Amino acid sequence: MTMSDSLPQRGGSAMPFSPGKPFSLISLFSGVGGMDRGFEKAGFNILWANDRDQTVIPSYTSFFPYTVFDSRSLRDISGTELPKAAGVIGGPPCQSWSAGGARRGIHDPQGQLFEDYLRVLHHVQPLFFVAENVPGLIQGNNRAFFHQMLQRMEQEGYLVTWKVVNAHDYGVPQDRRRVFIVGYHHSLNKGFVFPPPLSCRPTLRNAIFDLRRLKIGASRKVANHDLFVSGYSPRFMSRNRVRPWHKPSFTILASARFIPLHPQSPVMVSGKEGKTKQFAPGHEHLYRRLTVRECARIQTFPDDCHFIYTHVRHGYRMVGNAVPVELAFHLARAIRTDLEQYQHTEQKEAVCQTQHPFTTEARPDVLPERFENSGIISTNTSSQTTQREDA
């Protein structure tokens, strides 16, 4: 049965996990693993990951050397090839729903990748899932599809909670609003509650002030301090692109041309007739885009994440497409707390089974041994060095 096959209307039972073993995950549309890194930091184990973007493979496999990475299209992967896991995480590509994209929604082949996400849930039946996308998913003509998708998730046996989250509320020095959908299998007997915002609100000063005098380009101290140099389009100049040091960054996007400007420069001023913006007169030399490393810092990737790319534009795309690590961590920690409570209940049931062996059947293990597959890229490879090409 392939991933393109139709689904029954109702999901089955979630596979439980074994006491004492790590919480296992399947990662979909993984990119370079921003969400994965956050979940790993919270104590989860990424068993298997998938992304068909060939440019992310060297970086992802260096960050997660013990994860099995499959670079085939998700539609070409049969349900029997997927490992059992406690959770499924990942966000289908957002260009179909983005205000900055074509907004073709479900009519775009990429927009239909939500179907593949649902099919994975059906085959794996994890205890939980997390999906992330842009706010455009719940706006305008897309809203009907969004509610239909939530109904499909509920039909698979999940209690679904969703919220538009600003990453700045969870330790990220950036205003970045995204829709998060979290589903808990009915066997958990509860729904996910988003954690309250943190009191600490980091700024650009917290994130990149120490890099301000570092020479642009290759550095022994900090990798990926690479800069995309190009002109600025009328669309880019249509509004201010500078945030000062004491504020969080604008959203880090996946396009090198629309990366925010460095806070060393003054806030942009009104141009002719007030219809556009321009650089502050006399300070034009201070304006430049943020580097790949500065963007990675703002996305809360640690400096030991060395992104591997052949062109600097690919570096910006990898970083900009990622879920901020700290945001993922705080959501993952809340989920782990709920799973630990569930696991404690399972252990108590196991004790009762020992004392009363005729009450219920023994429950199977969800964490299988690692597997070999010739069609899958093993990430246990030798380390690779970062390549760079200036724009």
Q: Return the structure tokens found at 268.
A: 């942009």
**What would the two tokens of residue 364 be?**
């199977």
Residue 374: C-alpha distances to residues 224, 277, 378 (Å)? 33, 54, 9
The token pair that represents 296 in the structure block = 């990675």
**CA–CA separation, 158 and 348 (whole Å):** 24
Which residues are CB-neighbours of 123 under 8 A, at least 6 positions away? 3, 79, 80, 82
Taking CA 301 as the corner, what is the angle to CA 295 and CA 307, rounded to the nearest 5 degrees?
75
Enzyme catalytic residues:
94
SS (H, E, C) 225-269: CCCCCCCCCCCHHHCCCECCCCCCECCCCCCHHHCCECCCCCCCE
Q: How far apart are the first and last CA of the chain?
A: 45
Query: What is d(CA 263, CA 278) in angstroms, rounded to the nearest whole number?
Result: 15
SS3 sequence, 197-234?
CCCCCCCHHHHHHHHCCCCCCCCCCCCCCCCCCCCCCC
Q: Which of 50, 2, 1, 41 is nearest to 22 (CA)?
A: 41
Q: Which amino acid would we find at residue 64?
A: F
Tokens standing for residue 211: 């890099």
138 φ, ψ (degrees, to nearest 5): -110, 15
